[in-house]
Structure 1
Amino acid sequence: MTESMRQLPRGRHHLSREEVVASQRERILVAMGEAMTVGGYVGTPVAAILKRAGVSRETFYELFRSKEDCFNAAFDRVSKALADKLQAVIADCVDTDALTRMDRILTAYFEHMIDDPASARLFLVEVYAVGPSAIEARMALQHRFVAVVAAMLGAETEDQQFACATLAAAIGAMVTGRIAAEDPESLRGIKDQLIALARRSGTLYGNAFA
């Protein structure tokens, strides 16, 4: 269990009010994702989140207006974590060849899903049960993933950008299906197939394998 997920000690402690609130908020956001692996968004009451997070109902509503507001904050948290990880890998791959770049980026993406399936389920599966604002955020995340794929494959033309959008959608669908089926480990088996597909496609997706 991470430091942020531990309940604060009872009685006096040396944490500031801001640190206490930050700890409570983090525990709630993590608990949101974990609770939904049991009942899904619709079947997860606030009480289930409170029990996992170890906070009171009063504390929850001091931080979030509703369960949907909490979900949106949890979505922002997990999508930022994924975006930060991919951007760090991309920055490290600037001077590498296309094969190495694609291998490292896809490895980071799939390992992120495997290491934290609760978060993956939150932003890939449960998001569609929440409402229009959550779906809009999911589409924005997908657009950012398209940009990652386009950069990875050296897309320059409009046709290549469109091809990358279709590839990103296909990857997203495959990942979503495996997360929904509670089989994230199977993601390891599709990386090499995706790389082989990109290499066979010539300049369809971009100029990386031209």
Structure 2
Amino acid sequence: MDQRMSSGPLPRGVHRLSREEVAASQRGRLMLAMAEVVVEKGYAATTVADALKRARVSRLSFYEHFANKEACVVAAYDLVAGEVAVRIGAALSAGGDPMERVERALDAYLEALADEPALARLFLVDSYAAGPELSRRRAAVHRASAELMADRLGASTAGQRLACEAFVGAVVSLVTTRIVAGDLGAVRELRGQVMQLVRPVWESFPEL
């Protein structure tokens, strides 16, 4: 996803990285480390110390970036949500008929999640245990995804927009079950399976 999410340590000794680059690297490594530990231990059992050990970042540096564990998890969630939104938006904005654009957007969504298993699980599964703030953000992300799809496809009626919302909800549910099972291959395979179902439905209801 984001290059700053690398979990590798910064170079020892003299290096050419600016202060801003060092801070961005630390922040990214902390978010990725937190996501990985949450996947392994669960949100409740994960501590800031776990993330520090995994990211090889000092406690002082952690609190320069985040107020607490929840803030780090929320930041990681927002990073994934932003990246996914950018990829979906670009796919929907490209040329082609509605189904071609939907297929590209679906592919972009699935690939973004399959590329980063720990972040994908945080995004779709473990965020449920991370408190009310993430619950609100998750609902907002799903709503925004449906609205983005509706806007890019020119959906104007209530039925058209509801169809977009139903599509997003169904895909999220299908992907979540496969992420829980740890089957990233099945996540990627959903593209063809979902489109086989969506195309005849779309063609049967031209008013959508």
Above 0.5 in TM-score?
Answer: yes
Q: How does 1:125-204 map to 2 (within 5 A)?
A: 125-151=125-151, 154-202=154-202
Give how far 1:203 is off.
Answer: 6.6
Q: Distance in 2 between matches of 1:20 and 1:196?
A: 46
| Partner in structure 2 of residue 27 of structure 1 | 29
Give how far 1:46 is off.
Answer: 1.3
Q: Distance in 1 between matches of 2:202 and 2:17?
A: 57
Q: Tell me the SS of whatever aligns to 1:201.
A: helix
**Alignment match of 1:51 (pick from 47, 50, 53):** 53
Cα 1:66–1:84, aligned 2, differ >3 Å: closer, same or farther? same
Cα 1:190–1:205, aligned 2, differ >3 Å: closer, same or farther? farther
TM-score, normalised by the number of residues in structure 1 = 0.87
| Contact 1:153/1:205, CA 8 A, preserved across alignment | no
The residue type equivalent to 1:111 in the other structure is E
Identity rate, percent: 42
C-alpha RMSD of the superposition: 2.3
Give how far 1:100 is off.
Answer: 2.2
**Alignment match of 2:92 (pick from 90, 93, 103):** 90
Gaps of 5+ in 2: none
**Deviations 1:46-81, CA, capped at 9 Å, x for gaps:** 111111111011211121110001111111111111
Q: How does 1:42-121 map to 2 (within 5 A)?
A: 42-91=44-93, 93=94, 95-121=95-121
| Contact 2:92/2:102, CA 8 A, preserved across alignment | no
Q: Tell me the SS of whatever aligns to 1:5.
A: coil
| Contact 2:66/2:72, CA 8 A, preserved across alignment | yes
Moved beyond 4 Å, runs of 4+: 151-154, 203-208
Cα 1:164–1:119, aligned 2, differ >3 Å: closer, same or farther? same
Cα 1:112–1:35, aligned 2, differ >3 Å: closer, same or farther? same
Q: Distance in 2 between matches of 1:202 and 1:10?
A: 57
Number of corresponding residues: 205
| Contact 2:39/2:126, CA 8 A, preserved across alignment | no
